Structure 1
């Protein structure tokens, strides 16, 4: 069901609006500098709309996994660099409220109360408080005291049912009768996905890559009921080949991946299409490559789809009405093994179909190739994208009233 959006929050002049964003961006491991600001830029439409409405905006996000970090690593996980980059994009300072590691407390409360209409501030890394991942009513109450309205604009974490800021916090707003809505980013994600699931332009083509069949088994099974064809690539290719009894050389394929692929073999050659050739490389010398069309010789491992496969997949893309792509088709971070993923990305960027890129590494790939702007939609949530297509219900969205 459609959810309430920013326009349903009422008069926001002089109000404080708490906005859950997904600023879990990649950082330089030495300096902590933001390496890719795609998720920060994705939040700008919601921020600008709230500024125009006369609200003061308090953003909140997690960043990395401080609970598993060393003290030195944790030091780099403050929101300071994120706030700096956001301030550059907005053209105004964005303070981190309260200072230090505290997410809530008297200093944060005082700084939040002092915010003026149009100002934007950022809370400290939510996961610096261990209660964030425990759906804590106490932590939710402390956060809720900072604002008059709540906005969920963090699609990438919508499937995290244990996050206080995603579930217990909007529930606290709901119990208090305070308005709640989804932001522009989540609104766009849900519109695109709902159209994909209910009224796609056909033929509907899915492209699936990445490493593990087991992680995406539910997603694949959900897609098989909807798509006309499902094209396989990436390391999961070799799980299918091994399940067929073929040699994959030195390609490491876990037993559970083979077992996950086995029940899908009945669809191979019909809805599921496998690569017909693949680039392999020696494990001890990646410059030593060999193009294979059958079994992979011992000592070599699969690293990319081959040119015949790229040509066959591109032909399917050109005749499709809708294409949804999740997972790179090779080791695209290495230039020598990026041709398959690049070829598919170019085909999506230049075809006439509605093209949906399913977040995560796939989004990183199309950005690396500078093709993201040519896609119909690039999702900001890899795991959330998979879960939504599978049909899982998000507790975070259940806290936002339907229209």
Structure 2
């Protein structure tokens, strides 16, 4: 148990009824509600295929969207997509705790797979409680008698202490699935005594979680440098005393990031030599790219990317790094005029001679867009769970699996 919990290597699943929690929450087309990216389904299909090959009777638990949101849908199409990936029929059961569920479970043969409906249909599912409290939740009390073991493969939801994530670890012998195991092994390699020099690239449009990561990796001596891009760069430039202009101040105000200025100022004071800010940026002028030195700011246009001088500086630092962790693009990589910063910095990171990790949905989408995915040691599509892990925070799902390993050795 090198990570402190049990895995599929520690159990014989043949003939056992396996409750498998996955995270196949997928991007949907807003008009058709069809799945537009099946990456997460493909990732979890490996764990599912292993359980099938080993003769398990697999019962999949999953969610899509949040109740009340437009992307909150049943999981029928998820079961269909998974069936296509596996080349084997995955039976969809349009209920979670209704009377048809026990009937469906009792009909499963060894190697078969069924998928229950969206667990977030249940009012007591998406509530943060302790594993012991969730052991009394409706889904755990209903399904526990119909299962032999619980396998949690939903790393992307590991930061949530929800019923189907932590509750079964109290009532059933519990194990980590292969996605959970791989993600934690990769993240541990990037955070536990990484080979130096270690460089983190922090960008994107979520400064709150990003600031927690920067604080942790620099205060703990994990990273030697943090290279800043995206909206995070606008925040830090403003905190550094640069007049970023009214258009960029509006970006910070509209996104609620102005309240993070004090923390950004504190991080710059405490780690001024380790936090590397852009020396030039690319702004959008009538849809065109215009590069401006940060010393020449403000301009009336929004910052959309880092500039050429910054790309060169960041690339040089990455060329001398032995460990690189990426979380967030350098700018609006989806727009051709502003993709260059993300493309070139990620390309430089991919050439690192040591361990390289890409995390977050936008970062993983960017490396795929630029044909770089196979050049990195590990690419994760996790968002909040990854940020929490990199920030040194405990993940409820992981802690629950560790407690279960002691409870059901």
**Cα distance change on mapping 1:145 and 1:296 into 2, 3 Å:** farther
What residue number does 1:321 align with?
322
The count of residues paired between Structure 1 and Structure 2 equals 386
Which residues of 2 match residues 159-170 of structure 1 at below 5 A?
A: 159-161=159-161, 163-170=162-169
What residue number does 1:237 align with?
233
Distance 1:69 1:256 in 2: 27
Offset at residue 288 of structure 1 (A): 6.3
Offset at residue 353 of structure 1 (A): 2.3
What residue number does 2:10 align with?
8
What residue number does 1:155 align with?
155
1:311 partnered with 2:312: yes
Distance 2:212 2:385 in 1: 13
What residue number does 1:256 align with?
259
What residue number does 1:43 align with?
44
* 3-state DSSP of counterpart to 2:55: coil
Q: TM-score, normalised by structure 1?
A: 0.91
What residue number does 1:86 align with?
82
Structure 1 residue runs of 4 or more that deviate by more than 6 Å after TM superposition: none
* 3-state DSSP of counterpart to 1:329: coil
Distance 1:189 1:385 in 2: 9
Contact 2:44–2:153 (CA under 8 A) maintained in structure 1 = yes
Summarize deviations over 1:155-202 as a string: whole Å, max 9, x none. 0001101x10011122222xxxxx210011111111122222223111
Summarize deviations over 1:106-160 as a string: whole Å, max 9, x none. 1011112111111112111111222211354232111323321110101000110
**Cα distance change on mapping 1:311 and 1:267 into 2, 3 Å:** farther
What residue number does 1:204 align with?
198
Summarize deviations over 1:31-84 as a string: whole Å, max 9, x none. 22221111111112211221121101111111111x2236xx64xx11112111
What residue number does 1:176 align with?
none
**Structure 1: gaps spanning 5 or more residues:** 174-178
CA RMSD across the alignment: 1.8
What residue number does 1:141 align with?
141
**Cα distance change on mapping 1:15 and 1:288 into 2, 3 Å:** closer
Distance 1:107 1:199 in 2: 50
Distance 1:319 1:206 in 2: 13
* 3-state DSSP of counterpart to 2:302: strand
1:344 partnered with 2:340: no
Offset at residue 211 of structure 1 (A): 2.3
Which residues of 2 match residues 4-403 of structure 1 at below 5 A?
A: 4-9=6-11, 11-65=12-66, 67-69=67-69, 74=72, 77-97=73-93, 99=94, 102-134=95-127, 135=129, 136=134, 137=136, 138-161=138-161, 163-173=162-172, 179-224=173-218, 225=220, 226-249=222-245, 250-251=247-248, 252-254=251-253, 255-267=258-270, 269-282=272-285, 285-287=286-288, 289-400=290-401, 401=405
